[in-house]
Amino acid sequence: MINIKQMLFISLVALFCMSAAEKQKIDLGLAVKNNAISISMLGNENSTHYYEPVLANMNNNSMDYLEINMPAGTLLEPANEEEQTLIVTEDLIVDLSPKQSKMVKVKAMCIEPWDRAGGVASIYSLKTNKNDTLIKLAKYISANKYFTSCGQNAVWTFVQRDRLAEIYGSDTIEQNSLRLFLNKLTGMPMPKPEELNNYRYNYYVPPKETLSGYFQFGMQSPHDIQVAMFDTTGILVRELFNQKQYQPSNGQKIKYEFDFTVYQNDKYFVKLIVDNEVIMTRPINAKSFRDKYKQLYEQR
């Protein structure tokens, strides 16, 4: 004789199997075209432009169970033409029940370093990507989870056909992997050793003329902590500090510094990033510091 618990278990299994069988797998672009779902995509102010810069709100317009797929390589076009177009860097799969709405974060990176970064007021729409090589790079970043400043540098290096030395960061394994991948994919020459013994292209070469500062804080458990420098348009300039699973003690100072003779803009913004979320932003008046330094030098 089947007891109540057994009947309940059988019913749940049957319901699960029925739901799984009825779930329709569909590409995001096709789902939007067929009006199966509606989507709005806005800028994520708590992210850098190379991690999760977009928040997508998806609404299932149908009475079907849907599995929506936004593949790596998809382009996200801003409504404001002065803002950067983004490329999705990780397959995004979203399950939606009938009439359900869901907000999800989209991993993406900038493909237009000459345009300014998006922000909370940015609006994006889907755009077809016809560049198969760029799609391959996005899928490589996705497969290896290179959602980092180094991964962003790789995307920029490809779209600008710049030197592979431009791909650098704190993780030398990631850095070398991306250089080699683009070398094989495009034929771009690998950088020469003497080219890399240079502060501009090497995270570990110390600056000669420094402008420095610090963030002072503490944490009760280990976190991924990064400090990165951005220009006034919100575009990444350089990573200044990066430690995985790091636990600053109470009141500890996390120092950052850069060579102000290499990076010569008048103003920058330094961001404290914890677990890939921007926690604090600090303006840096490099011109004022540079002028004072010059004055002191001339008075010697």
DSSP 231-294: -TTS-EEEEEEEEEEE-PPTTEEEEEEEETTTS--SEEEEEEEETTEEEEEEEEEHHHHHHHHH
How confident is the model at residue 74, as a pLDDT? 97
Q: Which ranges of the chain have pLDDT less than 70?
A: 1-21, 293-300
- In single-letter form, the type of residue at position 173 comes to I
How confident is the model at residue 15, as a pLDDT? 45
> Cα separation of 216 and 233, whole Å?
26
Q: CB-based burial of residue 202 (10 Å sphere; 0-12 exposed, 13-18 middle, 19+ buried)?
A: middle
Q: What tens digit of pLDDT does each residue of 180-234 get?
A: 999 999 999 999 988 899 999 999 999 999 999 999 999 999 999 999 999 999 9
Asked whether the whole model's pTM tops 0.85, one would answer yes
Question: What is the residue extent of each domain of the chain?
Answer: 21-147, 206-298
How confident is the model at residue 2, as a pLDDT? 54
> Cα separation of 19 and 220, whole Å?
42
How confident is the model at residue 13, as a pLDDT? 47
- Give, in words, the CATH class of 21-147: mainly beta
Q: Which of 47, 115, 107, 49 is nearest to 79 (CA)?
A: 115
Q: Which residues contact 194 (CB under 8 A, 6 or more apart)?
A: none
How confident is the model at residue 287, as a pLDDT? 84
The CA-based angle 52-53-57, given to 5 degrees, is: 85
Range 206-298: architecture per CATH: Sandwich (2.60)
> Cα separation of 130 and 246, whole Å?
41
> Cα separation of 88 and 76, whole Å?
7
Torsion of CA 57, 63, 66, 68, to 10 degrees: -30
Question: Do the domains spanning 21-147 and 206-298 agree at the CATH topology level?
Answer: yes
For residue 136, the Cα-to-chain-centroid distance in whole angstroms is 17
Q: What tens digit of pLDDT does each residue of 201-211 get?
A: 999 999 999 99
